[in-house]
Structure 1
Amino acid sequence: MRVKPLLLVALLLAGCSPAPAFTASLTSPTDVVLSWPDDGAGHRVEYANDPAGPWTTLRFLPAHTTSYHHPDLIPETPFYYRVQPFTGPVSTDLKAVTSGDTVTFTWADRTPDEAGFLLEVRRPGAPDFDPVEVTGPDETTCALSLLPGEERSAYRLRTLHYGPLSPVVHRTTGKER
């Protein structure tokens, strides 16, 4: 098994270093922390209990987030994870209409090849926007129920484009104590 060390030596001699890996670590018998390098993109985090899926989205995370904590998992169960970067320009034609505690957003679809749209919120006092809703491609409306304290939040919409999926990482949870 001398292939990997030789590859590492070749990369280092060429002035390159291997890309940091996407990892999954057990921090307790039933908690997993995922980590990946900062590539400047947001990330969709997914899990499955079988490497072939089906895959479930856990969360869309904002740009420059490099870890995710998946807590309180079922003991002695396999969990498979992958992340997928996403990018997209901020739309300038987002419109909002409030009725009671519901906000309905509308926009124009000006991109023929988007994967969908990502609505983000910056709650009062928060330093940055967080993803709150994802639509499919060609959709031009969505509605959100306001949570207490969100009445003065700021919203923005991104046209969503996905990058390549990460390699799948696996952890099996331990026994409960």
Structure 2
Amino acid sequence: MPVKPLALLALLAAGCSAPAPSFTAALTSPTDVVLSWPNDGAGHRVDYANAPDGPWTTLGFLPPHTTSYHHPDLIPETPFYYREQPFSGPVSAETTPGAPAAPDATRLHAVASGDTVTFTWAGHSPDEAGFLLEIRRPGAPEFAPVEVTDPGATTCALSLLPGEERSAYRLRALHYGPLSPVVHQTTGKER
């Protein structure tokens, strides 16, 4: 049964309102956009495009409990469209390069050679959207996403940055949630 206009006005006057949007984009300067969403405990992939239907470029995979992303120094007077998608997946394995390999075939193995680490694992999640390799740099309290593979992958190589030699790594079978609605901001004139 449709709500009559007077009844709707009474609801609004009583403090009821439309739900707040769950994914927003705000200009914080003429050329900076901050994206925000509620803390749902998941990680989030953030994408942007310059047209509402793409093509889309991934800005980043953000760790669980992250609720915003700063997209800085954008082209002035340009439309930017954004979407986000939650992701999850149980931790499949952890390793540190140079650690002895475990007999478990699903364990993540890491072999360092110079400034490159090659990771291998046994595929064991038939419905994954890929695998997410995460790094915990020395002294960092948490893991952060560092590489995403295609579905069915069982190996990837990662070039180490200075200071990452004694990092720990973990692997997740990646599963995506629904895409958010697309939000939009047009940057202003540069000052």
Q: What is the distance in 1 between the residues matched to 2:150 and 2:67?
A: 25
Residue 85 of structure 1: aligned partner: 86
Residue 155 of structure 2: aligned partner: 141
Q: Which deviations, in whole Å up to 9, do the C-alpha atoms of 1:37-73 show, x marking residues without a partner? A: 0011000000000001000000000000000000000
Residue 46 of structure 2: aligned partner: 45
Question: Residues 20 and 37 of structure 1 are in contact (CA less than 8 Å); yes or no, is this contact kept in structure 2?
Answer: no
Count of aligned residue pairs for this structure pair? 171
Q: Which deviations, in whole Å up to 9, do the C-alpha atoms of 1:119-149 show, x marking residues without a partner? A: 0000011110110000000000000111110
Residue 156 of structure 1: aligned partner: 170
Q: What is the distance in 2 between the residues matched to 1:19 and 1:63?
A: 22
Per the alignment, do residues 19 and 114 of structure 1 end up closer, same or farther by CA in structure 2, a change over 3 Å counting?
farther
TM-score (norm 1): 0.91
Q: What is the distance in 1 between the residues matched to 2:75 and 2:157?
A: 33
Q: Which residue among 117, 131, 139 is the counterpart of 1:103?
A: 117
Question: Residues 121 and 129 of structure 1 are in contact (CA less than 8 Å); yes or no, is this contact kept in structure 2?
Answer: yes
Q: Runs ≥4 in structure 1, deviation > 4 angstroms?
A: none
User: Which residue identity lines up with residue 161 of structure 2 in the other structure?
Assistant: L
Q: In the alignment, is residue 129 of structure 1 matched against residue 143 of structure 2?
A: yes
Partner of 2:91: helix, strand, or coil?
A: coil
Q: Could you tell me which runs of 5 or more consecutive residues in structure 2 were left unpaired when the two chains were aligned.
A: 94-106
Q: Could you tell me which runs of 5 or more consecutive residues in structure 1 were left unpaired when the two chains were aligned.
A: none
Q: Which deviations, in whole Å up to 9, do the C-alpha atoms of 1:93-142 show, x marking residues without a partner? A: 11100111110000111111100000000001111011000000000000
Q: What is the distance in 2 between the residues matched to 1:167 and 1:48?
A: 13
User: By how many angstroms is 1:18 displaced?
Assistant: 3.2
Q: What is the distance in 1 between the residues matched to 2:161 and 2:55?
A: 31
Q: In the alignment, is residue 167 of structure 1 matched against residue 155 of structure 2?
A: no
- Taking the TM superposition and a 5 Å limit, the aligned residue runs for 1:7-22 are 9=11, 18=19, 20-22=21-23
Per the alignment, do residues 116 and 19 of structure 1 end up closer, same or farther by CA in structure 2, a change over 3 Å counting?
farther
Q: What is the distance in 2 between the residues matched to 1:45 and 1:74?
A: 18
Per the alignment, do residues 82 and 124 of structure 1 end up closer, same or farther by CA in structure 2, a change over 3 Å counting?
same
Per the alignment, do residues 127 and 20 of structure 1 end up closer, same or farther by CA in structure 2, a change over 3 Å counting?
farther
Q: What is the distance in 1 between the residues matched to 2:86 and 2:22?
A: 14
User: By how many angstroms is 1:20 displaced?
Assistant: 4.9
Q: What is the distance in 1 between the residues matched to 2:130 and 2:33?
A: 29
